[in-house]
């Protein structure tokens, strides 16, 4: 059988098509570059830092919720500032919330183990009060007098908050913060998703609390 040029080209195209289908088996996506934040300053108790994982942009805005103090006084809710970036997560100290996303802790520390969106029990954000283990401390200016302010209610993602373990020391400093280094998967509301791995809790130079470093890979989704 003689093959002309058209037949050869057609067969080659068919082969490439089969290879492309084979490469997409299992829903795998092209692995994006690993990006990172080093010493992201989230130390202010009265602020949230909003993060766009796609672009690396950040914005910081005051916590606008009602605050309640241990002495019984309150600060009324404020008008919230508008966040101008398309944010994916927001960080307050070591507490985290998402922009309408849901989160899975893979329990693995291997970022390379997940090149497609893993299945599992993803958890959405929830509203907490000032008695929760992840309560939002908002004002420590009166701490030496025993008077501390907390957000009366706040939105957090409990799974993402678990990226760092807080341990009481019984001395000074009162707490030690240790990252689990687990790979945490964030599903975003627009179909994109990300792998996040916290590497350091505290400034990498002097250990000062309120800084966070993490690696991540952002997938545009399908």
Give the DSSP letter string of 22-44.
Answer: HHTGGG--PPPPPEEEEEEE---
Segment 194-222, tens digit of pLDDT = 999 999 999 999 999 999 999 999 999 76
* 87 — pLDDT class (breaks 50, 70, 90): very high
Parse the chain into domains and list their residue ranges. Answer: 34-219
pLDDT at 210: 95
Whether cis (ω within 30° of 0) applies to the bond prior to 162 is no
Bigger pLDDT: 25 vs 74: 74
CA 203 to chain centre: 18
Q: Is the pLDDT of residue 31 over 80?
A: yes
* Per-residue pLDDT at 164: 96
Instruction: Return the pLDDT at 89.
Output: 98
Determine what percent of the chain is predicted with pLDDT higher than 90: 81
Which tokens hold the place of 65? 């919720």
Q: Which residue has the higher pLDDT, 19 or 133?
A: 133
Residues in the chain: 222
Least confident of 121-135, 142-156, 160-174, 187-201: 160-174
| Strands 126-129 and 123-124, bridge-based pairing | unpaired
Distances (CA, A) of 208 to 11, 43, 72, 106, 182: 63, 9, 30, 28, 22
Cβ atoms of residues 147 and 138 within 8 Å: no
pLDDT at 5 over 60: no
Indicate the pLDDT class of residue 113, thresholds 50, 70 and 90. very high
- Which of 217, 219, 192 lies closest to 36, judged by CA? 217
DSSP 69: E
Which one is predicted more confidently, 174 or 191?
Answer: 191
The pLDDT score that the predictor gives to residue 172 is: 80
- What pLDDT, on the 0 to 100 scale, is given for residue 24? 38
Average pLDDT of the residues in 87-105: 98
């Amino acid at each position: 059988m003689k093959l002309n040029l058209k037949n050869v080209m057609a067969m080659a195209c068919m082969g490439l098509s089969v290879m492309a289908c084979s490469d997409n088996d299992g829903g795998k996506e092209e692995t994006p570059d690993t990006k990172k934040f080093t010493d992201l300053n989230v130390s202010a108790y009265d602020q949230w830092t909003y993060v766009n994982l796609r672009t690396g942009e950040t914005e910081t805005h005051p916590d606008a919720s009602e605050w309640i103090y241990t002495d019984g006084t309150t600060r009324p809710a404020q008008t919230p500032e508008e966040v101008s970036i398309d944010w994916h997560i927001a960080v307050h100290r070591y507490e985290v919330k998402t922009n309408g996303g849901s989160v899975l802790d893979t329990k693995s520390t291997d970022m390379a183990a997940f090149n497609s969106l893993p299945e599992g029990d993803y958890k959405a954000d929830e509203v907490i009060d000032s008695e929760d283990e992840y309560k939002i401390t908002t004002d420590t200016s009166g701490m030496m007098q025993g008077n501390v302010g907390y957000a009366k209610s706040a939105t957090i993602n409990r799974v993402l908050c678990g990226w760092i373990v807080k341990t009481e020391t019984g001395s000074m400093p009162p707490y030690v913060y240790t990252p689990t280094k687990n790979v945490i998967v964030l599903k975003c509301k627009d179909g994109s998703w990300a792998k996040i791995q916290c590497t350091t809790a505290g400034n990498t130079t002097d250990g000062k609390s309120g800084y966070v470093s993490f690696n991540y890979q952002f997938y545009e989704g399908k």
